[in-house]
Amino acid sequence: MEQVEAMPAPEAVIRSARPVNSAIEDYPRPAYGWYVVAVLTVAYVFSFLDRQILSLLVEPMKRDLSLSDTQISLLQGMAFALCNVLVGLPLGRLVDTRRRTALVAAGVAFWSLATAACGLVRTFPALLLLRMGVGGGEAVLTPAANSLIGDHFPPHKVGLPLAVYSIGIFIGGGLALVIGATIIQGALRSGPLLLPLVGEVRPWQSVFLLIGLPGLAVAALALSLREPARTGALRHGTGADGAATVAAVPLGEVVAFLRTNARAFWGINLFMGFSAVAGYGVAAWVPSLFIRRHGWSAVEIGHTYGLLLLTFGTAGVLCGGWLGDVMTRRHGPAGRLRAAIAVKLLTIPFIVAYTLLPDGRAAIWPLAATVFLPTFLNGLSPAILQQMVPNQMRGTAISISLLVINLLGLGLGPTSIALLTDRVFRDPASIHYSILIVSVAMMLLSLTCVLIAYRPYVALVGRLRQG
């Protein structure tokens, strides 16, 4: 039996949120910590590879399955949002109490098989169900990865590792477009495939198969990682062998802590959520913008936009992680928020430029800026969230954050642009106006939320650091 040490009353824990073991924590060797970051980043790359590939397959899927823009948007976004609502919070709780490396491996294997299966079905309901499966598998990765990375690096050095992990979004999204365009190009030349027991597989279906199955190797790699000790724990215990253990914090205390700091917590989460509406919406429909408005082929925009994500997206995340650490050293808890506000304001003129310029080649340059600048937030946001919750609440807190991001970003981003195009403008060629309206509106909403949360957040992080 495990014996748990006596702890102060929940109110005291909530009021100060001070870890019981305030002594210097023992972290794994930095080299192994960076190896863990590398493996988790590869897994994140595959998650966005599997998620983002659909944006390049919009036109052939619409043609072969007779789908509308709104139906496509449900496959791109709402499927993930619904699944996150169903499984996100329970998985986040498991991250706080179970072996995180095993959870990562299981999630990668599940979403990889679901992605491959998308290449074997021929109806919209089946595709929607499988895309929900992809979202369910992916729901465990980021809470577990953030928690694992936080236990491999001390707080003043965790910003860059979290930023490196976050570049998986843009490497995965970029590779989805570049590799997907190349596969499509080859598949169009060779025509449909005939597979045993399956029958004819169209070019867009073969893309799902070729993208999904390699993820099983990544799952095996994640399973080989060692589970680290949890640092900065609020509760400790003693096992039957006398060894120190970490005891789970009751869910009621987690909820009470978040409720006490609701203005900071929800303000930051809504800031991230409204930012995600613009980010996911743009990622879903930019290829269609260039295909419809500028007459580009799927191969052209796939290679071009994919390379922008790989280069400018990756650079933006790394710069955001570096800038956040620098601003934190100079301005304390407010540093990363100040950087986020500045980036938001700088981005808006470039959104207007790339959506309204009549020449596709000219529009690429402001589009590159709207890839580079907003991705600073992907380097800033993980550390912003980690700073405001103790270790044993991170899995739950990050799962709540992902729920907000997915409900707003994936649920509203692709679909809000599609609805404006289908129901307001009633013209597929007007998609650039839909992207402009949604992007600017979400930028302004996210700025409002971060300003509301600013003072409470700074005060909360200050209290946690004093502990």
Each residue's pLDDT tens digit, 346-360:
999 999 999 999 999
Q: Which residue did the predictor score with more confidence, 420 or 203? A: 420
pLDDT-above-70 percentage for the chain = 87
**How far apart are the C-alpha atoms of 382 and 401, rounded to whole Å?**
10
| 307 pLDDT above the threshold of 50 | yes
pLDDT of the residue at 371: 93
Among residues 282, 60, 356, 45, the alpha carbon closest in space to that of 178 is found at 45
Q: Which amino acid is at 71?
A: Q
Segment 262-266 mean pLDDT: 93
pLDDT band at residue 366 under the 50/70/90 scheme: very high
Backbone φ and ψ for 244, nearest 5 degrees, come out as -70, 140
E strands within 153-241? 193-195, 199-201, 236-238
Alpha carbon separation from 80 to 13, 65, 100, 105, 195 (Å, rounded): 35, 21, 21, 19, 29
Q: Which amino acid is at 211?
A: I
| 9 pLDDT above the threshold of 80 | no
CA dihedral 287, 405, 309, 64 (to 10 degrees): -30
Q: Which residue did the predictor score with more confidence, 464 or 338? A: 338
| 295 pLDDT above the threshold of 90 | yes
**How far apart are the C-alpha atoms of 463 and 89, rounded to whole Å?**
26
Among residues 222, 218, 260, 291, the alpha carbon closest in space to that of 393 is found at 260
Residue 436 CB partners (closer than 8 Å, separation 6+) = 351, 352, 355, 356
Segment 437-445 mean pLDDT: 96
pLDDT of the residue at 246: 54
pLDDT digits (tens, 9 = 90+) for 26-73: 777 889 989 999 999 999 988 888 877 787 788 788 888 888 888 888
Among residues 195, 153, 181, 187, the alpha carbon closest in space to that of 40 is found at 153
pLDDT digits (tens, 9 = 90+) for 112-144: 999 999 888 888 999 999 999 888 888 889 889
**How far apart are the C-alpha atoms of 448 and 444, rounded to whole Å?**
6
Segment 382-392 mean pLDDT: 81
| Angle separating helix axes 141-150 and 100-117, nearest 10 degrees | 150
Q: Which residue did the predictor score with more confidence, 371 or 169? A: 371
Q: Which residue did the predictor score with more confidence, 148 or 80? A: 148
**What are the structure tokens assigned to 344, written together?**
């938001």
pLDDT of the residue at 6: 36
Q: Which amino acid is at 425?
A: F
Q: What value does the mean pLDDT of the chain take?
A: 83
Instruction: Read off the DSSP letter of residue 334.
Output: G
pLDDT digits (tens, 9 = 90+) for 160-215: 788 788 887 778 777 777 876 777 677 667 666 666 666 677 878 888 888 888 99
**How far apart are the C-alpha atoms of 458 and 422, rounded to whole Å?**
43
| 5 pLDDT above the threshold of 50 | no
pLDDT band at residue 431 under the 50/70/90 scheme: very high
pLDDT of the residue at 8: 38
pLDDT band at residue 232 under the 50/70/90 scheme: low
pLDDT of the residue at 325: 83
pLDDT of the residue at 177: 75
CB 223 within 8 A of CB 36: no
pLDDT digits (tens, 9 = 90+) for 90-110: 887 888 888 899 999 999 999
Q: Which amino acid is at 264?
A: A
Predicted TM-score (pTM) of the model is: 0.69
